[in-house]
């Protein structure tokens, strides 16, 4: 959380992860080049570059798409999630090199504009197996470009978290386009059981992870709490909540984080305004609820970020009845101060 | 994520789980996994030709799978001769061939493989 924007927000952990990303990419490329030239000495450099960077981008895309559901299934993966943005931009750069070399190699030597050539060199748009697959890759690259260029906090802040999230969910369309680009392109020209099966297994892994995580979340969303006569939802005994931590509770399909701190209890909406991080998985640091994803902070009693920051989340009223915490399901507007209740 | 986004994610991945494998299957169902060569080489010719004197007309009916297809003359002894030009996609191509040319070879310039051998 910072007041001014920086081109790249690096800290010690991010630098370590970035070194890991760069080393992984370099090792993969070196191995790919070595094996390609050893197994096929006649192969030309442009072909190897196109293949190496294309396959690298696909592998990275699979890793990126697996991180979200993995963190929902196991919080041990959270540190990887904090660094997903840099991985995404690196993946785009690999895809861009693949795209640029492919356009130069196959379309730049004629007498028409290379982009025009990409769309018109094969006009068999009505066919499936002869479909101009390069067009699919072009649109996937375009989506990845939009995502990479708007990945900075400046755009997140100015587009609003909701719009930004919608925009970045286009990565799923990019993934589908990339898969079809490979199946209708490379696999048509060089049939290989190994590469086909690998990509199919990648799809199977991603689909399984996302659907398992989605159905697990749906189960939590459908939770119906016991209510008292006034319609307040029964949560748990206060002792069940750890000091400086929260219990995440479902109210009308939305998640609420009930925090215990300094002998008090307060409830706020669980979703961080920055990137939708789960506030209830964070803890109280310096008197503020601190998002586990990027450290955005909120005061627990009013859901407001401490000045000069302006982020606000909804708040909820709590009470204790017969040794049980109850929550009013009706949320207060974002930033409304609600006096905390005693946890004893 | 808010509830709406969780739902959107779920439906998107149900869509990817249903539609994508169907398209993957349709894309590869006719491929020959026993051969590493291009599918062009195993099927019927995607090109037709006509010869009038020394003028050779080649009609490419369906796009060639190889990205750089070069046309060579075939000498009487069957060896590969002069390069005539490149086939870049569907369309009509006309080349001037040397007298005594017995046929043509269409080669994949990148993989350096023979795609088609056509004798007149």
pLDDT of residue A99: 96
- Does A185 score more than 50 pLDDT? yes
The answer to whether A121 faces chain B, any CB pair under 8 Å, is yes
- B22 interfacial to chain A (CB closer than 8 Å): no
For residues A114-128, average pLDDT:
88
Confidence label for B61 from pLDDT (cuts 50, 70 and 90) = confident
Q: Is the dihedral of CA A156, A160, A161, A166 positive or negative?
A: negative
Q: Tell me, what's the ipTM?
A: 0.80
pLDDT: which is higher, A32 or A294: A32
A221·B3 Cβ contact <8 A: yes
A-chain residues near B20 (CB < 8 A):
176, 179-180, 203
User: Exposed, middle or buried, A279 (CB in 10 Å: 0-12/13-18/19+)?
Assistant: buried
Backbone angles phi, psi at B65, to 5 degrees: -75, -25
Give yes or no for a contact between B120 and B102, defined as CB atoms under 8 angstroms apart: yes
pLDDT, residue B36, reads 42
Instruction: Identify any residues that bridge with B104 across adjacent strands, giving them in sequence order.
Output: B73, B118
Residue B18 touches partner A, C-beta closer than 8 Å: no
Give yes or no for B65 touching A (CB within 8 A): yes
Residue A3 confidence (pLDDT): 52
Cα distances (angstroms) measured from residue A64 to each of A8, A119, A189, A264, B89: 19, 29, 28, 39, 36
pLDDT over 90 percentage in chain A: 59
Residue B42: what pLDDT? Answer: 43
Among the residues of chain A, which ranges form H helices?
A: 12-39, 45-73, 78-82, 84-107, 114-120, 133-149, 153-159, 161-168, 171-184, 186-189, 193-221
Of residues A142 and B45, more confidently modeled: A142
| CA–CA distance, A297 with A305 (Å, rounded to integer) | 6
CA-wise closest residue to B31 among A196, A200, A198, A188:
A188
DSSP state of A304: B
CA quadruple A21, A67, A88, B6: dihedral, nearest 10: -170
Of A3-7, A108-112, A123-127, B47-51, where does mean pLDDT reach its minimum? A3-7
Distance CA A10, CA A8 (A): 6
Give the mean model confidence (pLDDT) for residues A225-245.
91
Question: In the prediction, which pLDDT does B86 show?
Answer: 86
Which residue is associated with the tokens 């739902």? B7
- Judged against a pLDDT cut of 60, whether residue A297 lies above it is answered with yes
Two tokens at B75? Answer: 């000498």
User: What's the average model confidence in pLDDT over B64-74?
Assistant: 82
A254 contacts on B by Cβ (under 8 Å): 2-3
Nearest CA in chain A to B19: A176
A25 in helix, strand or coil?
helix
Judge contact between A330 and A339, C-beta under 8 A: no
Q: How far apart are the first and last CA of chain A?
A: 33
Rounded CA-CA distance A137/A160 in Å is: 29
Task: Give, in degrees to the nearest 5, the angle at Cα A201 between A199 and A204.
Answer: 115
Mean pLDDT of A85-107: 94
What's the pLDDT score for residue A6?
A: 62
Predicted local confidence at residue A189, as pLDDT: 75
The verdict on whether omega for the bond into residue A178 sits within 30 degrees of 0, i.e. cis, is no
**Cβ within 8 Å, pair A211-B67:** no
Mean pLDDT value of segment B46-71: 80
**Looking at the partner chain, which of A44, A207, A214 has a beta carbon nearest the beta carbon of B9?**
A214
More confident residue, A261 or B66: A261
CATH superfamily of this structure's domain A233-342: Rieske [2Fe-2S] iron-sulphur domain (2.102.10.10)
pLDDT per residue over A19-32, tens digit each?
999 999 999 999 99
- For residue A33, the model assigns a pLDDT of 96
Question: A92 and A147 in contact (C-beta within 8 Å)?
Answer: yes
- Name the residue with tokens 């209890």: A265
- pLDDT tens, residue by residue, A32-63: 999 999 988 878 899 899 999 999 999 999 99
Gap between the Cα atoms of A312 and A336, Å rounded: 9
Chain B positions in Cβ-Cβ contact with residue A177 (cut-off 8 Å): none
Q: Which residues does chain B have within 8 Å of residue A215's beta carbon, measured at their own beta carbons?
A: 10
Would you place residue B62 in the very low, low, confident or very high pLDDT band (cuts 50, 70, 90)?
A: confident
Residue A237 dihedral angles phi and psi, to the nearest 5°? -70, 145
For all residues of chain A together, what is the average pLDDT? 89
What pLDDT, on the 0 to 100 scale, is given for residue B102? 83
Quick check: B37 pLDDT over 50?
A: no
Average pLDDT of span A78-98:
90
Chain A: closest CA distance from residue B37 (Å): 7
What is the mean predicted confidence (pLDDT) over A230-255? 91
């Amino acid at each position: 959380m910072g007041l001014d924007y920086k081109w790249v927000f690096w800290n010690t952990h991010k630098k370590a992860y970035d070194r890991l990303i760069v080393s992984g990419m370099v090792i993969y490329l070196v191995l790919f080049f070595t094996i390609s030239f050893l197994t096929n000495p006649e192969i030309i450099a442009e072909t190897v570059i196109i293949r190496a960077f294309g396959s690298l981008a696909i592998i990275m895309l699979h890793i990126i798409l697996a991180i979200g559901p993995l963190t929902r299934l196991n919080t041990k993966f959270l540190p990887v999630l904090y660094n997903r943005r840099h991985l995404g931009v690196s993946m785009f750069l690999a895809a861009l090199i693949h795209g640029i070399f492919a356009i130069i190699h196959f379309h730049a030597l004629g007498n028409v504009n290379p982009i025009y050539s990409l769309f018109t060199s094969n006009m068999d748009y009505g066919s499936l197996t002869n479909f101009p697959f390069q067009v699919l890759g072009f649109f996937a690259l375009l989506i990845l470009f939009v995502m990479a260029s708007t990945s900075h906090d400046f755009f997140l802040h100015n587009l609003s978290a909701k719009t930004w999230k919608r925009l970045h969910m286009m990565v799923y369309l990019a993934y589908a386009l990339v898969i079809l680009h490979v199946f209708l392109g490379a696999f048509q020209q060089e049939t290989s059981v190994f590469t086909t099966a690998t990509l199919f297994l990648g799809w199977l892994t991603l689909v399984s992870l996302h659907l398992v995580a989605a159905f697990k979340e749906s189960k939590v969303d459908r939770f119906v709490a016991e209510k008292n006569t006034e319609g307040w939802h029964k949560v748990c005994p206060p002792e069940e909540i750890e000091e400086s931590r929260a219990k995440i509770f479902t109210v009308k399909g939305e998640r609420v984080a009930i925090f215990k701190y300094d002998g008090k209890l307060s409830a706020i909406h669980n979703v961080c305004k920055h990137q939708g991080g789960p506030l209830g998985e964070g803890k109280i640091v310096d008197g503020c609820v601190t998002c586990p994803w990027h450290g955005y902070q909120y005061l627990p009693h009013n859901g407001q970020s401490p000045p000069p920051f302006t982020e606000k989340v909804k708040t909820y009223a709590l009470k204790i009845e017969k040794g049980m915490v109850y929550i009013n399901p009706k949320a207060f507007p974002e930033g409304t101060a609600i006096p905390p209740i005693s946890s004893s | 994520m808010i509830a709406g986004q969780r739902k959107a994610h779920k439906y998107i991945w149900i869509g990817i789980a249903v539609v994508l494998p169907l398209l993957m299957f349709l894309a590869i169902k006719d491929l020959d996994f026993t051969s590493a060569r291009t599918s062009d080489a195993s099927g019927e010719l995607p090109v037709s030709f006509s010869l009038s004197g020394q003028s050779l007309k080649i009609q490419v009916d369906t796009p060639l799978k190889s990205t750089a297809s070069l046309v060579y003359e075939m000498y009487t002894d069957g060896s590969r001769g002069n390069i005539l030009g490149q086939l870049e996609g569907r369309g009509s191509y006309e080349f001037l061939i040397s007298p005594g040319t017995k046929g043509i070879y269409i080669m994949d310039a990148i993989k350096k493989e023979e795609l088609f051998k056509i004798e007149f």
